[in-house]
Amino acid sequence: MITTIIFIVVLGLLVLVHEFGHFYVAKKAGMKVEEFGFGFPPRIFGVKRGETVYSLNWIPFGGFVKIYGEGGEGEDDPKSFASKSAGKRAKVIVAGVLMNFLLAAVFLGFGNALGLRIGLTGNEDFAAQDIKIQVIQVSENSPAQAAGLKTLDEIIRLRKNSEIVEPQDVSQIQEFVQNQAGEEIILTILRQGSEIDLKLVPRKNPPSGQGAIGVNLAKTGIVSYSWYEAIWRGFRDAGILALNVTIALFLFFKNIFLDSKLIGDVSGPIGIAVLTGQAAGLGFNYLLQFVALLSVNLAVLNIIPFPALDGGRLLFIGIEKLKGSPVSRKIENLVNASGFALLIALMIWITIKDVAKFF
């Protein structure tokens, strides 16, 4: 129940910020906003203020702003979206993306001021607190996965008979594991405040890129900054996140459309809800980072030039500028409907995978 509440609050914030960007810029441009809705219809209730109905709807995974003229109607009405210049329409579309990026930068700025757990490369060690050696990835079908190691587990001790190592660096773990290849060792990990002993046998000939037990490790610590440094670091970190998410999405769609396969784990609403609960359980700072990541994901996903997304609408405006006249409304609606159907099908498939994975 707590996870569900946290997820609804997080999702509501992300959607509210995104749609408020569209709403605010549309209003400033003199457009008529007919409805500002949280969730998708059917409607639970709505309140009209001025020209706009503010509604709460039954399907909670999303939200919308309905602007008069988005379907091409009212081209002669100065309050219609369709009557505005390409530049003003583009600003309305981009505003939601920019608001999500700004939200991520603000959250990461707060996080940098409060203290975020980051991977240490050596330069930050002197300023870091609560230094740990943590698991950041577990390979499929590896000894680590079979033993039950999970992402963010802290390795605090390794044992083989009377030989005990309490690692201070990743290299100590790697050396110990390599020396014990083919023999059972015991890893003591710290997970949510509890010590757990896990038995596993390092492989003598592991698959390429996996290592003897099949984990990626990192030395991490909590580093905080002064408020003025935290501000620019928030924007910098949001930019780095946006770049990484862009690359990941490019590879995701490339593999779907060119290779007809998926890479890595992909989560829908159910998976994101579970991960949100896990992040909240680790602490407020982890939740800040996770919500910032979700916000950047939402921004990047929306700006890609795919039908039915903000980027797809932006693409049609760009084509209009190049050819000197709007794209046929019939063609645009057909393309957007096809894109929306594809996204819904993908979301259903991912949700089915989430149910199988988490339940």
Tell me what pLDDT residue 100 has. 95
Three-state secondary structure call for residue 222: strand
Q: Alpha helices, DSSP H only, in the chain?
A: 2-28, 86-114, 143-147, 170-179, 227-257, 269-282, 284-303, 310-323, 329-358
Tell me what pLDDT residue 327 has. 81
Nearest to 85 by CA among 42, 125, 30: 30
**What is the C-alpha separation between 164 and 269, in angstroms, rounded?**
43
Give the dihedral sign, CA 103/104/109/114.
Answer: positive
Distances in Å between the Cα of 218 and the Cα atoms of 22, 124, 270 are 40, 13, 28
According to DSSP, residue 356 is labeled H
Amino acid at 359: F
**What is the C-alpha separation between 305 and 93, in angstroms, rounded?**
12
Tell me what pLDDT residue 236 has. 94
**What is the C-alpha separation between 103 and 299, in angstroms, rounded?**
10
Pairing, β 129-138 against β 215-223: antiparallel
Ordered by where they begin, the domains of the chain are: 2-113+276-358 (no CATH), 129-223 (2.30.42.10)
**What is the C-alpha separation between 285 and 251, in angstroms, rounded?**
29
Annotated catalytic residue within 19, 35, 70, 332:
19
CA angle at 106 for the pair 302 and 13, rounded to the nearest 5°: 55
As beta bridge partners, residue 160 has 163
Tell me what pLDDT residue 267 has. 56
Prediction pTM value: 0.79
Tell me what pLDDT residue 329 has. 79
320 annotated active-site:
no
Amino acid at 335: V
Mean pLDDT by 10 residues, the chain (359 residues): 76 88 95 91 92 89 85 88 92 95 95 86 70 90 91 92 89 91 92 90 87 91 90 93 86 70 56 65 80 91 87 90 83 82 76 66
